[in-house]
Amino acid sequence: MKISWFRRQQYVQVKLEQKGEVGALWVKCAGCGDLVFRERIRENHGICPRCGAYFFLTAQERISLLVDESSFQDVSKPIVAADPLGFVDRRSYVGRLKEAQEKTGLRNETVIGRARLGGCPVILAVTDFRFIGGSMGSVMGEQLDHGMGMAARELRPFILVTSTGGARMQEGIFSLMQMVKTAAARRDLERLGVPFVSVMTYPTTGGVLASIASLGDITIAEKGALIGFAGRRVIEQTTGERLPPEFQTAEFAFEHGMVDRVVERRKLREELIHILEFLPVRQSQ
């Protein structure tokens, strides 16, 4: 899957080689154009060892990058999306769901788990862009509500790592309702004094950005992230104005107060551990 509908900005985003165009063991980096041994990329946290460009990480790769070894316990709800609208474009929604499940090995786009990060117990939620663009439908809303509810009950910090194209159009208003649902669940964390850290990766856009991803006590952008509501082309056509080249980059978001830090992928785990040391959970009375 290529991400051609997002304009590449100050960084170089690496294309995915899902079909193995250059063989199962090698990947062509869109940053430098070189063939890179796939295992080298894995060992380097999804970063090209030659030019430093980022590859997408799957949900499992992202989890492995962040949490203490062998500490992750998957507590995701075993649910799958319904088709409330009987939606069909070039393919049926049901068909797209089945294809995504076969391609990713996931039931849905969101993985929730208990874990430890630097020894600190947390609830971690990760979205996987491979699954219909990591888009938010009723299942994501239910999973995040489940994860934040668990964090509230167990007084564990909640960490959300997003890679998403926004709300899922195939579910219409049912998708948009998840913006309210997740914001309400986040309110319960605030009421109990449970920290919420939001980590935005490439891309974090649309309804997810406009709701839960922007509600963290601390918000981090991974270096190279694309952060914005509507697409660049849509904005330019609507306003009739040219946008600056750095628009919707992680650095642009930082300069305009949308995120608190921009962190390189290699340093993300260390940064989260440092943040958790300064965001203690309020003890229950």
Residue 40, classified by CB atoms within 10 Å of its CB into exposed (0-12), middle (13-18) or buried (19+), is: middle
Lowest mean pLDDT among 145-149, 184-188, 205-209, 275-279: 275-279
Mean pLDDT calculated for residue range 69-78: 97
pLDDT in the model for residue 124: 98
Q: 172: which 2 tokens?
A: 């219409």
Q: How confident is the model at residue 280 (pLDDT cuts 50, 70, 90)?
A: confident
pLDDT for 178 beyond 60: yes
* CA atoms of 170 and 156, how far apart (whole Å): 33
Which is nearest to 274 in space by CA: 190, 227, 225, 218?
A: 218
Q: How confident is the model at residue 284 (pLDDT cuts 50, 70, 90)?
A: very low
Q: How high is the mean pLDDT of the chain?
A: 89
Considering the chain, what percentage of its residues have pLDDT values greater than 90? 76
What are the tens digits of pLDDT across the range 81-126? 999 999 999 999 999 999 999 999 999 999 999 999 999 999 999 9
pLDDT in the model for residue 134: 96
* CA atoms of 170 and 168, how far apart (whole Å): 6
Residue ranges and CATH numbers for the domains of the chain are 57-278 (3.90.226.10)
Residue 239, classified by CB atoms within 10 Å of its CB into exposed (0-12), middle (13-18) or buried (19+), is: exposed
Q: State the DSSP string of 54-75.
A: BPP--HHHHHHHHSPTT--EE-
Question: Which backbone phi and psi does 247 adopt, to 5 degrees?
Answer: -60, 135
pLDDT in the model for residue 282: 58
Lowest mean pLDDT among 52-66, 87-101, 193-207: 52-66
What are the tens digits of pLDDT across the range 149-168? 999 999 999 999 999 999 99
Mean pLDDT calculated for residue range 233-251: 93
SS3 126: strand
Would you say the pTM of this structure is higher than 0.95?
A: no
pLDDT in the model for residue 24: 61
